[in-house]
Structure 1
């Protein structure tokens, strides 16, 4: 990998993917392979397990709820079925909470932290190993959690505003007897909502790396990510859309497969196809996390911010200082890795 600082700002859409792939298969691949097995593999496994379990429980809840609506309350099966709905609803809530806490809040953020730090080490030509990366993860993760929670808060507020606007459009349309106009306005609001959610997620991708590699967190990290993306918004959105489409295809295919689990589909075929979807998801998540950090460095270079080995190395060493392992940053320009 021979990318110089002045060249990073000129990396285009395809070049970013190529650069990210070269990082993964470079001489540092042993670190990325361990991050992959320790964090990304269990996260993706938990993600697909949550989809399978949620799909099954939701199906049972919907079927039983429909049966309850059509059943007389004096029927001897009514109360047992009602208890079953309550049980499945509770299990669904527990599994969803576990996925959020263990999957999203821990494994996902740990993976983002580890990959961002490892990629930064690659560009700083800083000697490191998997154990050192793992020691750094908890300290950087604390900042990332605050940014993630701020992201959730912003999205919840955005969703609440969206729901309020949709309801308002329907109420005004019904009272004014202008249903068609209300529907048109509602469609426009939905389109704006989708665009807004995409932009929030693009901002989160940049803010997550900022939280790991800079002294920013929460609202400051989002403000910083907005500043970095100026002039590169189309590139960031384009890259995000590629991963979003691929993720939807993989998850959608797996969701359909999960729905066929109890069908006449041979179990061998089901297992093989499930493994294929799982491997595709693993590769997508691994590449996506590396691309996030490369995009961050591209944006920094575009704004002529220093990304030489010395400045980047100082930031990385700040994490190790708490363990008494301050490293010596190399006062040379970013060169070959």
Structure 2
């Protein structure tokens, strides 16, 4: 039974691929815009910060050989601080632009898969009209999920460091403990992410957000966590492979243009993985509703669930 649940994600993937065809044109447009904008921002960010980092590193090395009381030292220090401010400003602009792009794209994708699941067509006008409120709820939930992720990473860092430092005198044992803890904490993160990702879908498709969406997600995924975990494992492994290739291959490419095109392509692949994950989790949302015996209704662009009324027993007094 558990084995079937572990590989039940394959059925969810197959269903999500079939469903995406029902509003395929609109979904393709949204996905293409998301891939192009996100990849462009990434390439722009990498090409912009590269000379800043090089300039900062050069000045930092020169700073160590100068007199701290001299004028050249003060000038280099001021230049380094200027580079740091410029770097932080560029990174803030990049992450803000990428976050807003992802927010609207994720809202549109979840809404499109939601209506496609009910065999319903939606126009681009209806999609645009339904997005502002759903995006607001998604923003609130995304913020709280981000806090949970940061908290978990902080906890995980401490959990990794303490045992490793305690056995630092034994190199082989410390490496074994480090790897075992990394695998355990990574698996636990993917397990918790099932609820976190489901809460994002719920915040778009239902009139709730934040803690309420997280609470509903926790109840909804009961009995389907293994499918969600398998989806997380597959998509994260794919993303890791592309990201690993991006870091290693882009470093050895000499041509700036070829390097930019390579980064654009790989970032597009990573964004496409995110799109497929959202589609799969939207399908998983409806499958969880079914497994709980709930009927899914669609009213306009808002999806909600209703538990069917129990049949009246003969002889039961009516109110």
Tell me if TM exceeds 0.5: yes
RMSD: 3.4
**Mapped partners of 1:235, 1:193: distance in 2:** 19
Query: For residues 230-249 of structure 1, what are the structure 2 equivalents within 5 Å?
Result: 230-249=222-241
Structure 2 unmatched runs, 5+: 305-319
Compute the displacement of 1:217 (Å). 1.3
Matches within 5 A, 1:167-186: 173=166, 179-180=169-170, 183=174
Shift of 1:317: 4.4
Counterparts of residues 47-126 of structure 1 (less than 5 Å): 47-54=42-49, 57-58=52-53, 60-73=55-68, 78-104=73-99, 106-126=100-120
SS at match of 2:207: coil
Count of residue correspondences: 298
2:4 paired with 1:19:
no
Structure 1 residue aligned with 2:243:
251
CA contact (8 A) 1:40 1:111 kept: no
Greater RCO, 1 or 2 (C-alpha within 8 Å, sep 6+)? 1
Instruction: Identify if the C-alpha distance between structure 1 residues 83 and 255 changes in structure 2 by more than 3 Å, giving closer, same or farther.
Output: farther
Could you tell me which residue of structure 2 aligns to residue 149 of structure 1?
Answer: 143
Matched, 1:45 2:79: no
Matched, 1:35 2:4: no
Measure the CA separation in 2 of the matches of 1:165 and 1:237. Answer: 22
Determine if contact 1:40/1:286 at 8 Å carries over to the other structure. no
Report the Cα offset of residue 236 of structure 1: 1.0
Q: Distance in 1 between matches of 2:151 and 2:71?
A: 44
Task: Using the TM superposition, give the Cα deviation of residue 164 of structure 1 relative to its aligned residue in structure 2, in angstroms.
Answer: 4.6
Contact 1:147-1:217 within 8 A present in 2 as well: yes
- Greater Cα shift, 179-188 or 33-42: 179-188
Q: What SS does structure 1 have at the residue aligned with 2:295?
A: coil
Q: How does 1:130-169 map to 2 (within 5 A)?
A: 130-165=124-159
Q: How far 1:178 sits from its partner (Å)?
A: 8.1
| Among candidates 195, 198, 212, match of residue 190 of structure 2 | 198
Counterpart-to-counterpart distance in 1, 2:46 and 2:233? 22
